[in-house]
Structure formats: C-alpha cells, structure tokens
Amino acid sequence: MSARQFGFIGLGRMGAPMVANMLAAGIDVIAHDKAGTAQRAPAGAEIAESIAEVARQVDAIFICVPDGTASEEVVDLVTGTRECSVSTIINLSTTGIAAADAIATRLTGHGIDYIDAPVSGGRAGAVAGTITIMWSGTKPLLEALRPVLATFSKSAFFIGSKPGQGQALKLINNFLSAMAMTATSEAMIFGESKGLDMKTMLDVINVSTGQNTATSDKFPNRVVTGSFDAGFRMALMEKDVALYLTELKTAGTADRLARALAEYWREGVEAFPDGDFTEIFKLVKDRVV
C-alpha cells in the first residue's frame, strides 16, 4: 500500500486500541467516530470531523463498528464522497454474511476492493495487539498489508476470496465461544450443588478433556474473581448467536443446539442489557430452582 495514512472508522472498545497500536508502530492514522472522535481517538491520531474527510485523504479505510447496518452506513458515506481517494475498505466488524454480500454488491462499480475481515480476541486482544483476523477477499492485498495488520493482530488468516466467508467463520467461532460459556455455567452450578469447589473443578477440567476457553480463561479470570469484565458485551454476543442461527436456517444445516443457545442469550440481554457476556453465568445461576 502506498497510503500516506490509513483511515479508521469506529473508535469503540476494539477500534481505539487497534489505532493506538498502529500509531505506536509509526503508522499514520486519520480517525473518525460519530460518537465523538476527539474524546475517543488515541493520542497521535489525526482527527476527522466526518467520514468524507477521511475518504478524501486515504487509500485504505478500516471499519470497526457494531454491526452490518452501521457498516453499510459507513460504506454509503464513503462512496458518496466527492473526490474520494479510497481504493480499499477492510471491515473488521461482525456484520453477518448477508450484510457482507450486500456491501460487496454496493461497492460494485466504485473501484473499491472490499475485504470482509472480522476479528476475534475481545478488547484484551485489541489492547495487547493479539487479535485474530479472518480475512476474506483479495489474497495479495492480505500479504501486502501484513506488516500493518501485525501491529494489532497476532494471526491473520486467509479464509477465502469471497466476502462473507470471513463472517461465516467468525459466527462459527462465536457460537462455540457462547456455547462454552453457557455449558460451563451449567456444569459449574451443578458441581457446586454437589459441594464441589469451583476452582478445584476448573483445575481438573483444564488438564482434562472438558477444557475450553470458558474453563481456561473466562471462569478463572472473570467469574471466580467476580469481575465479569471480559470486555465483550452481552448484547453483541446475543447478536452474533442470532446471526448464526439465521445463517443455519438459510443453509439448512442442524440448528437444535443453536436454537437453545439463542434463547439463553436473549434472556441474558433482557437481564443484563449493558452487561458483559460472562454475566450469562449469573443468569444460569438465577434460573436454578
């Protein structure tokens, strides 16, 4: 890439630390967030008052916003910019497959290469620069941008050439993450009902076949400690599980577990609308009669 600067749209819990890591590596970034760029932008970022201001100055724009609707709004503002200089959009958001397809179609005829590149790792990974990128789109561009991606990502995988394939893998990942968190919650509560100590259960499971990301990370670090601060909102996990269930229905593949899981997370959002996704444990515990 020959960009003097990279644009970055979305400076929330994930986007802001990604930009901070890019800046720390000496990469110029011009940033915008509709919630208030000056308040959210890391020190050293150039502040843009609008998406159009970004689009007139850079070759490549990263997007990191909550969902597909927000992503489509950003893309429409980019393509509607007069004297737009953007040739590449890399969307790090979880949009769902249908939205990724729609955005790619929207960009047809605009001379802009669209990369569907959702990420995993949560805020902790964004801060540490260790998130995983699931890249679907032009493979040579991935190789060209690896030095930039490496400033905030430990692993960038080429998933496929079609936008939407990255979304499919991200939804699979988050389905499994949500299932691990929910199933572990049920298991821990059952164990406690039999007089077992949670820490002891986790120690045993983590050197046994039941080990998963909930037992190895979320429970020891967020549930046992009572902090419930994994940095990923309950509402976002509910959205991703719902998107996954929708895609299963479209694909016609098995969805029995996904249906039960989606119900859990709908209840989780109702109980903890602003909560961390690890608080699903509280919901499961409260349901015990």
User: Could you confirm whether 170 is annotated as catalytic?
Assistant: yes
Token couple for 205: 């499971």
User: Please, which residues bridge with residue 88 across strands?
Assistant: 60, 113
φ/ψ (deg, to 5) at 160: 175, 175
CB 154 within 8 A of CB 132: yes
User: Please, which residues bridge with residue 98 across strands?
Assistant: none
First to last CA, the chain: 59
CB 39 within 8 A of CB 68: no
Spatial CA neighbour of 153 closest among 128, 182, 123: 128
Catalytic residue among 162, 170, 199, 285: 170
Distance CA 4, CA 7 (A): 10
What angle (nearest 5°) sits at the alpha carbon of residue 218, between those of residues 212 and 222? 160
Spatial CA neighbour of 89 closest among 48, 65, 59, 134: 59
Q: Residues with catalytic annotation?
A: 170
